[in-house]
């Protein structure tokens, strides 16, 4: 293995789904899991292809109730290609299956630089002796509608024939997540198949409720020597192409399968099947496709690579690879959000949560056009968010915790505890802090890019409507002289009500209230700083009375932040909850990451205890620099000194089970500035979440995209203290002994390829030559200006 490759040796059925997720190939438009081509979905294998933004809504009966769920749809399987040997006397052997005939020297190699997955193995088959197989696949980054698979069969001592069947398989369903097995999972309807020319099969279908049309066409050809026979066999739900190929020592049999995929959501087409047929007909052979694909990735790597030594660097590059496969330059042309589990599996039904909070800060400095497109996904759903707020009796915009196709709330009404087998009420839709995350992303994008036009138009519309929601929902408590936000759920997610309470929701979640105050203050800054004509036009368009701003000002200064025993309370009353016997639970269970499920299965509830799933209060230290966080608390009437923050960090570290992959990222970020000796432990945990499947089987249902992007941003912004504020790059690095040297390039304003490297107490920064303005760099002890074409090496102040 090298820094650019990941190898998986041997064939382990129990580990296949994890490997399939980590070997997924994609291009931002669609992705295909890394399943072996000859196997259909079952208990071991799960081949699947997902197109970004293609959802379907189905009704199911769960625990005696009718529920509706919208899912990212598993599309027809284009990858299916199986083979068997034919003897000289015409006898036909069984179709090869790794679950029947053990492959030897079985290896998958994921090449990150080239974005290919290569599989090699051999097996011994009676009179045929040894047959070697090599397969290489790609999902094209240059042309987002193409994918290809090349298979080479080699024999050393036998001459005969190989029969190959290449299939487009429409007989698929969503079955990647075992917990969803009782739900309706058949999303495809009106499957039709056919043939074109003498080498191409096609499949047409649509999603059953959302009526998204899907067209697939696959061209399968023998390379080098013509097949002895070739038959196209369309059937009701499968389009098959069978070829019989001669093979002899020194004369391998080679098959290339090229697939084109379109949907009715695509731009500039009239019919998805016609578009797929046109595209696959015009597509070149595998070698030319590979060359252009690798070239497209080379251009992408130049914009977004990271240089970190050792195993940490290998994992970071894998994380970056999966982020870029899900959110590529092609994403800029799509109406999609950030799917929490990438385009790699079906957990969370492919929904969009708050994960862009961990993804966009990285993309802002590499692919800002993608960040803008992801913000536009939210802006297009702003009217739906305003309608949701109105239906709840609130002003402004109430964005959903889970979003899919149209912006309505997609959070499930019930969720299954696999430990107890019980379906339980799901109150996660009360995580209204998702609105603050969207506002934060708008602000961060505009600060990083200088995109004032966006800030004053679409960005302002979202930011002001979210501020309006918070101001309207804040209730003044005359006794306290403070505004309160009641009935919410914070990032922790464990706690969704008070013990014995009849209604769900908590009061004055500190993270929710502080971020709401931040949104209100930023909205005020924006409203006051806009040109008068823009402000008047905007206020008229969203029907905002300038008199509302006075309340925004008041609420932003008097929102309640609860404290107990000298630390920030996660929510009002948190300190009154019982303490959990953590040692006893760690001794009793192999893992207590999902403590909520353990306690519910015991007939108890996590709502009774001071126990958090992931960072909640500490998320404030992730979003805001120490200086900005102190300023926020000062605005709210509190002195947040270093000692209070350290006590708060220590308090929640002892009471967190880390049941979310995001927990390691946030804790590493926070501890880097508070307790550096422990920060690397959480860095390593964040890096290992998916590659080691630390959450116990969840990665096979899709990677955790927010955590992957979060580790990249941990290096880019967390350890460097990088901020893009007030038209300057600000850096305040923190030294980690375990990571003594690292670097990356970024795109800042009009400067492409700004090089940043930290090593041995020095910062080296280079600005590429251009006609752009110099860059103002602000360190803790000085400010310097670096001109285009100039590289500076600066000593860092000692901490």
Q: What is the pLDDT of residues 725-767, one digit of tens each?
A: 889 999 999 888 888 899 999 999 989 999 999 998 899 999 9
Which DSSP string corresponds to 448-484? HH--HHHIIIIIHHHHHHHHHHHHHH-EEETTTTEEE
pLDDT at position 616? 96
Give the percent of the chain with pLDDT over 90: 88
365 burial via Cβ count (<10 Å: 0-12, 13-18, 19+): buried
- Residue 113: CB atoms within 10 Å: 16
Lowest-confidence pick of 288-297, 607-616, 676-685: 676-685
pLDDT at position 86? 86
764 burial via Cβ count (<10 Å: 0-12, 13-18, 19+): middle
Mean pLDDT score, 116-139: 91
Mean pLDDT score, 283-312: 95
91 pLDDT more than 90 = no
- Residue 99: CB atoms within 10 Å: 15
799 pLDDT more than 70 = no
677 pLDDT more than 80 = no
**Are the C-beta atoms of 506 and 497 separated by less than 8 Å?**
yes
Helical ranges in 496-624 per DSSP H: 510-529, 532-542, 548-558, 582-588, 595-601, 619-623
Mean pLDDT score, 203-230: 96
Give tens-digit pLDDT for 622-652.
999 999 999 999 999 999 999 999 999 999 9
Q: How many CA atoms lie within 13 A of 127 on its CB side?
A: 11
Average model confidence (pLDDT) across the chain: 95
157 pLDDT more than 90 = no
Predicted confidence band of residue 42 (pLDDT cuts 50, 70, 90)? very high
pLDDT at position 1? 67
**Are the C-beta atoms of 201 and 195 separated by less than 8 Å?**
yes
Lowest-confidence pick of 97-111, 542-556, 733-747: 733-747
445 pLDDT more than 70 = yes
Whole-angstrom distance, CA of residue 594 vs CA of residue 611? 11
121 pLDDT more than 70 = yes
pLDDT at position 798? 74
Mean pLDDT score, 370-399: 98
Predicted confidence band of residue 546 (pLDDT cuts 50, 70, 90)? confident
pLDDT at position 190? 97
pLDDT at position 676? 79
Mean pLDDT score, 295-299: 97
Mean pLDDT score, 401-429: 93
User: Pairing relation of β-strands 728-730 and 775-778?
Assistant: parallel
Mean pLDDT score, 467-490: 98
Q: Which residues are catalytic?
A: 493
142 pLDDT more than 70 = yes
370 pLDDT more than 80 = yes
CA 39 vs CA 83, 100, 169: distances in Å: 11, 11, 11
354 pLDDT more than 90 = yes
pLDDT at position 541? 94
pLDDT at position 793? 95
């Amino acid at each position: 293995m090298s820094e650019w490759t990941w190898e998986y040796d041997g064939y382990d059925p129990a580990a296949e789904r994890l490997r399939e997720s980590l070997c997924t190939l994609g291009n931002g438009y669609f992705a295909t899991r890394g399943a072996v081509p000859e196997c259909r979905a079952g208990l071991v294998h799960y081949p699947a292809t997902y197109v970004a933004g293609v959802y379907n809504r189905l009704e199911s009966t769960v625990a005696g109730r009718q529920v509706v769920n919208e899912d990212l749809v598993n599309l027809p399987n284009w990858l299916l290609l199986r083979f068997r040997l034919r003897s000289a006397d015409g006898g036909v052997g069984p179709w090869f299956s790794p679950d029947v005939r053990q492959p030897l020297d079985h290896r998958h190699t994921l090449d990150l630089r080239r974005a290919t997955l290569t599989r090699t193995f051999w097996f011994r088959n009676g009179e045929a002796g040894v047959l070697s197989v090599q397969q290489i696949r790609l999902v094209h980054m240059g042309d987002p509608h193409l994918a290809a698979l090349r298979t080479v069969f080699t024999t050393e001592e036998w001459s005969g024939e190989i029969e190959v069947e290449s299939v487009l398989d429409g007989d698929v369903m969503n079955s990647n997540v075992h917990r969803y097995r009782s739900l309706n999972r058949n999303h495809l309807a009106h499957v039709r198949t056919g043939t074109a020319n003498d080498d191409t099969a096609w499949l047409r279908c649509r999603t059953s409720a959302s009526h998204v049309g899907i067209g697939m066409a696959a061209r399968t050809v023998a390379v080098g020597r013509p097949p002895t026979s070739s038959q196209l066999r369309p059937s009701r739900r499968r389009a098959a192409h069978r070829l019989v190929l001669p093979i002899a020592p020194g004369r391998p049999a080679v098959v290339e399968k090229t697939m084109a995929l379109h949907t009715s959501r695509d731009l500039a087409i009239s019919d998805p099947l016609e578009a797929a047929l046109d595209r696959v007909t015009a597509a070149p052979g595998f070698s030319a496709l590979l060359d252009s694909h690798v070239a497209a990735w080379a251009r992408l790597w130049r914009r977004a690579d990271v240089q970190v030594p050792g195993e940490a660097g290998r994992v970071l590059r894998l994380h970056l690879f999966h982020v870029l496969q899900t959110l590529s330059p092609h994403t800029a042309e799509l109406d999609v959000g950030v799917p929490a589990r990438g385009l790699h599996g079906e957990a969370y039904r492919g929904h969009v949560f708050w994960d862009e909070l961990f993804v966009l800060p990285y993309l802002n400095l590499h692919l800002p056009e993608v960040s803008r497109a992801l913000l536009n996904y939210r802006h297009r759903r702003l009217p739906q968010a305003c309608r949701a707020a109105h239906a709840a009796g609130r002003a402004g915009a109430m964005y959903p915790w889970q979003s899919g196709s149209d912006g309505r709330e997609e959070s499930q009404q019930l969720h299954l505890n696999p430990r107890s087998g019980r379906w339980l009420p799901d109150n996660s839709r009360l995580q209204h802090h998702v609105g603050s995350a969207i506002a934060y992303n708008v602000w961060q994008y505009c600060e990083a890019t200088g995109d004032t036009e966006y800030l004053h138009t679409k960005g302002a519309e979202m930011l002001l409507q979210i501020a309006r929601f918070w101001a309207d929902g804040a209730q003044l408590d005359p006794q306290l002289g403070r505004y309160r936000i009641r009935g919410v759920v914070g990032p922790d997610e464990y706690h969704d009500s008070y013990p014995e309470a009849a209604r769900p929701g908590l009061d004055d979640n500190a993270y929710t209230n502080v971020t709401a105050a931040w949104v209100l203050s930023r909205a005020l800054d924006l409203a006051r700083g806009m040109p008068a004509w823009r402000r008047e036009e905007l206020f008229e368009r969203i029907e905002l009375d300038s008199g509302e701003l006075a309340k925004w000002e008041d609420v932003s200064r008097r929102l309640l932040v609860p404290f107990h025993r000298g630390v920030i309370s996660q929510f009002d009353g948190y300190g009154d909850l019982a303490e959990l016997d953590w040692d006893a639970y760690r001794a009793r269970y192999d893992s207590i990451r999902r403590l909520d499920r353990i306690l519910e299965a015991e007939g108890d509830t996590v709502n009774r205890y001071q126990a958090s799933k992931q960072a909640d209060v500490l998320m404030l230290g992730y979003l805001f620099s120490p200086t900005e966080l102190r300023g926020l608390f000062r605005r709210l009437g509190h002195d947040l000194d270093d000692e209070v923050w350290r006590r708060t960090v220590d308090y929640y570290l002892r009471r967190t089970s880390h049941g979310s992959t995001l927990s390691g990222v946030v804790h590493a970020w926070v501890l880097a500035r508070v307790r550096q000796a422990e920060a690397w432990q959480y860095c390593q945990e964040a890096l290992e979440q998916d590659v080691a499947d630390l959450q116990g089987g969840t990665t096979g249902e899709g990677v955790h995209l927010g955590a992957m992007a979060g580790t990249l941003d941990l290096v880019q912004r967390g350890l460097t203290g990088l901020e893009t504020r007030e038209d300057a790059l600000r850096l305040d690095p923190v030294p980690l002994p375990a990571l003594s040297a690292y670097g990356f390039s970024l795109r800042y304003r009009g400067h492409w390829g700004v090089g940043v490297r930290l090593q041995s107490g020095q910062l080296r920064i280079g600005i590429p030559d251009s006609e752009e303005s110099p860059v103002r760099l602000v360190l803790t002890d000085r400010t310097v200006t670096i001109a285009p074409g100039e590289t500076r090496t600066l000593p860092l102040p000692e901490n």
